[in-house]
Structure 1
Amino acid sequence: MSEAVDLLINARWIVPVEPRDAVLADHAVAIRGGRIVDLLGQDEARTRYVADEVVELPRHLLIPGLVNLHTHAAMSLLRGIADDLPLMRWLEEAIWPAESRHVSAAFVRDGTLLAAAEMIRGGITTCSDMYFHPEAAAEAFAAAGMRAVVGAVVLEFPTSYASDPEDYLRKGLAARDRWQGHPRLGFSIAPHAPYTVSDDSFHQVQTLADELGLPIHVHIHETAQEIADSLAVHGCRPLARLARLGVLGSNLIGVHAVHLDEADIELLARHGCSVAHCPTSNMKLASGIAPVPRLLAAGVPVGLGTDGAASNNRLDLLQEMRHAALLAKVGSLDATAVPAHAALRMATLGGARALGMDDRIGSIEKGKCADLCALDLSAPQCRPCFDPVSHLVYVCGRENVSHVWIDGETRVDKGVSLLHINDTELLRLVSMWQTKLGN
Structure 2
Amino acid sequence: MQTLMRNAFVYTGDEKWRSFADGTLLVEDDHIAWVGESAEWAVVASTNQFSPDLVLDMDGTVIIPGLINAHAHGGLSIHRGVCDDGDLFSWARRLAPHTSHLVEADLIFGCYLAIMEQVTSGTTCTCDCTRYGTSIFAQVSSVIGSRSLSGTLVNSPELRPEGRPNWPSALEETEAALTEFSGTPRVRFFLGTHSPYNCTAELLIEVKQQAERLGLPFNIHVAETHTEVVQVQIARGHRPVEWLDYLGLLDANCLIDHAVWLAPNEIEILAQRGVAVAHCPVSNAKLASGIAPVPELRRAGVPVGLGTDSVLSQNSQDMFQEMKLAVLLQRASRLNGSVLSARDAIRMATLESARALQWADEIGSISVGKQADLVVINLSHPQGLTAERVESDLVYACGPHKVRTVLVAGEVIYDRGRFTRFDAEALKEQIRHRYHHVQTES
Range into which the TM-score falls when normalised by the shorter chain: over 0.9
CA shift digits 1:345-378 (9 cap, x unpaired): 1101111111111111001111111000111014
How far apart, in 1, do the equivalents of 2:206 and 2:360 lie?
27
Which runs of 4 or more aligned residues in structure 1 lie more than 6 Å from their structure 2 counterparts after TM superposition?
158-161
The reply to whether residue 62 of structure 1 matches residue 63 of structure 2 is yes
Give the stretch that moved more between structures: 403-412 or 326-335. 326-335
Partner of 2:40: 44
SS in 2 for 1:165: coil
Pairwise CA RMSD: 1.9
**Counterparts of residues 218-237 of structure 1 (less than 5 Å):** 218-237=220-239
Partner of 2:6: 10
**Counterparts of residues 146-161 of structure 1 (less than 5 Å):** 146-157=146-157
Contact 2:21 2:385 in 1 (8 A): no
Q: Which amino acid aligns with 2:108?
A: R
Q: 1:109: Cα distance to partner?
A: 1.4
Normalising by the residue count of structure 2, what TM-score does the alignment of the two structures yield?
0.93
Partner of 1:421: 423
Q: Which amino acid aligns with 1:52?
A: D
Q: Which amino acid aligns with 1:139?
A: Q
How far apart, in 1, do the equivalents of 2:170 and 2:216 lie?
16
Q: 1:424: Cα distance to partner?
A: 3.3
SS in 1 for 2:52: strand
How far apart, in 1, do the equivalents of 2:125 and 2:23 lie?
24
Partner of 2:103: 104
CA shift digits 1:51-93 (9 cap, x unpaired): 2222222332211111000000111111101111211111112
Gaps of 5+ in 2: none
How far apart, in 2, do the equivalents of 1:148 and 1:100 lie?
24
SS in 2 for 1:290: coil
Query: 1:344/1:321 Cα in 2 relative to 1: closer, same or farther (>3 Å)?
Result: same
Q: Which amino acid aligns with 2:51?
A: V
How far apart, in 1, do the equivalents of 2:258 and 2:162 lie?
26
Query: 1:11/1:320 Cα in 2 relative to 1: closer, same or farther (>3 Å)?
Result: farther
Give the stretch that moved more between structures: 285-294 or 421-430. 421-430
Give the stretch that moved more between structures: 318-327 or 57-66. 57-66
SS in 1 for 2:100: helix
Q: 1:337: Cα distance to partner?
A: 1.8
**Counterparts of residues 311-390 of structure 1 (less than 5 Å):** 311-378=313-380, 385=385, 387-390=389-392
Gaps of 5+ in 1: none
Contact 1:75 1:310 in 2 (8 A): yes
Give the stretch that moved more between structures: 238-247 or 33-42. 33-42
Contact 1:77 1:434 in 2 (8 A): no
Match of residue 19, structure 2, among 3, 23, 43: 23
How far apart, in 2, do the equivalents of 1:90 and 1:33 lie?
46
SS in 2 for 1:14: strand
Q: 1:140: Cα distance to partner?
A: 1.0
Contact 1:67 1:347 in 2 (8 A): yes
Q: 1:150: Cα distance to partner?
A: 1.1
Q: How many residues end up aligned between the 2 structures?
A: 431
Contact 1:76 1:309 in 2 (8 A): yes
Q: 1:11: Cα distance to partner?
A: 4.3
Give the stretch that moved more between structures: 134-143 or 339-348. 134-143
Query: 1:192/1:430 Cα in 2 relative to 1: closer, same or farther (>3 Å)?
Result: farther
Contact 2:77 2:310 in 1 (8 A): yes
Contact 2:134 2:170 in 1 (8 A): no
**Counterparts of residues 241-252 of structure 1 (less than 5 Å):** 241-252=243-254
Contact 2:155 2:165 in 1 (8 A): no
How far apart, in 2, do the equivalents of 1:178 and 1:413 lie?
29
Contact 2:152 2:170 in 1 (8 A): yes
Partner of 2:294: 292
How far apart, in 1, do the equivalents of 2:36 and 2:369 lie?
14
Q: 1:303: Cα distance to partner?
A: 0.3
Contact 2:100 2:164 in 1 (8 A): no
How far apart, in 2, do the equivalents of 1:437 and 1:264 lie?
42
The reply to whether residue 73 of structure 1 matches residue 74 of structure 2 is yes
The reply to whether residue 214 of structure 1 matches residue 213 of structure 2 is no
Q: 1:138: Cα distance to partner?
A: 1.9
How far apart, in 2, do the equivalents of 1:293 and 1:100 lie?
36
**Counterparts of residues 155-234 of structure 1 (less than 5 Å):** 155-157=155-157, 162-163=164-165, 165-234=167-236
How far apart, in 2, do the equivalents of 1:292 and 1:39 lie?
32
How far apart, in 1, do the equivalents of 2:384 and 2:213 lie?
53
**Identical amino acids, percent of aligned pairs:** 34
CA shift digits 1:8-43 (9 cap, x unpaired): 112432111113433221111101111111112213
Give the stretch that moved more between structures: 424-433 or 267-276. 424-433
Partner of 2:123: 124
How far apart, in 1, do the equivalents of 2:439 and 2:410 lie?
38
Q: Which amino acid aligns with 2:224?
A: E
How far apart, in 1, do the equivalents of 2:383 and 2:111 lie?
36
Q: Which amino acid aligns with 2:21?
A: A
How far apart, in 2, do the equivalents of 1:114 and 1:421 lie?
13
Partner of 2:241: 239
